[in-house]
Chains A and B, each alone.
Chain A
Amino acid sequence: QKEVEQDPGPLSVPEGAIVSLNCTYSNSAFQYFMWYRQYSRKGPELLMYTYSSGNKEDGRFTAQVDKSSKYISLFIRDSQPSDSATYLCAMSTSLSGGYNKLIFGAGTRLAVHP
């Protein structure tokens, strides 16, 4: 079993739809949760960062963490064609010192069509 599971998709939605992206994990020691966006042939860029459980909102993006269920989500409201990319979840047990090791999900490919 992988430490982090993420449905690779692809996920195709119409412009303006609400998109829900999810990851599950098995390591209860994970405390830091990130969502990255990666365009084709580019490096990932950080979208959202959450520590422990709870919700975090930034513009059209909302990240949720449910540690009791070992489940994290990223919601995109009013999706745009420019949101078409691969979304990767990433997790870490610690971010201090030399232990800033991120474990990535496989990534979900999202296509938003006009």
Chain B
Amino acid sequence: GAVVSQHPSWVICKSGTSVKIECRSLDFQATTMFWYRQFPKQSLMLMATSNEGSKATYEQGVEKDKFLINHASLTLSTLTVTSAHPEDSSFYICSARDRRISYEQYFGPGTRLTVT
């Protein structure tokens, strides 16, 4: 089956620093990748939609200058949290859409970010 990986699986950083999270589709090409954040016991909230080779589309209320998304290839998208603050601590999950199966999004295992 389709596999999406994320790296790192967890990260602790100091306030004010930047953190990069990678999302890779391992055995399929993903024209579209999605980035979500999930707070404890809450649902997934879409942050942005990333299409290969073009700028990401951010959801209302998500600061694009703070959450930088790059989708440079059909198998890799990155999310960089710039100038991280404790309130950015969350579970970040990416998903990738297989270009052959339009409805299915395959989710990565998530990255837990803790900002101290």
Contact = CB atoms under 8 A, between A and B. Distances in A.
A95 B103 contact: yes
A114 interface: no
A46 interface: yes
Interface in B65-97: 91, 93, 95, 97
Contacts, number: 60
Interface string B94-113: 01010000111111111010
Contact of A95 (B41, B91, B102): B102
A102 B35 CA distance: 11
Contacts of B112: 41
B105 A102 contact: yes
B46 A43 contact: no
Residues of B contacting A: mostly:
strand
A49 B103 contact: yes
Interface stretch (A12-20, A72-80, A103-111): A103-111
A34 B101 CA distance: 14
A42 B110 CA distance: 6
A88 interface: yes
A98 B44 contact: no
A100 B102 contact: yes
A102 B46 contact: yes
Interface in B14-59: 32, 34, 41-46, 49, 51, 57
Nearest to A49: B103
Contacts of A44: 44, 93, 107
B108 to A, nearest CB: 5
B28 to A, nearest CB: 14
Interface of B: 4, 6, 32, 34, 41-46, 49, 51, 57, 91, 93, 95, 97, 102-110, 112
Interface of A: 6, 8, 32, 34, 36, 41-46, 49, 88, 92, 95-96, 98, 100-102, 104-107, 109
10 contacts: A34-B103, A42-B109, A42-B110, A43-B107, A43-B108, A95-B103, A96-B102, A104-B43, A105-B43, A107-B43
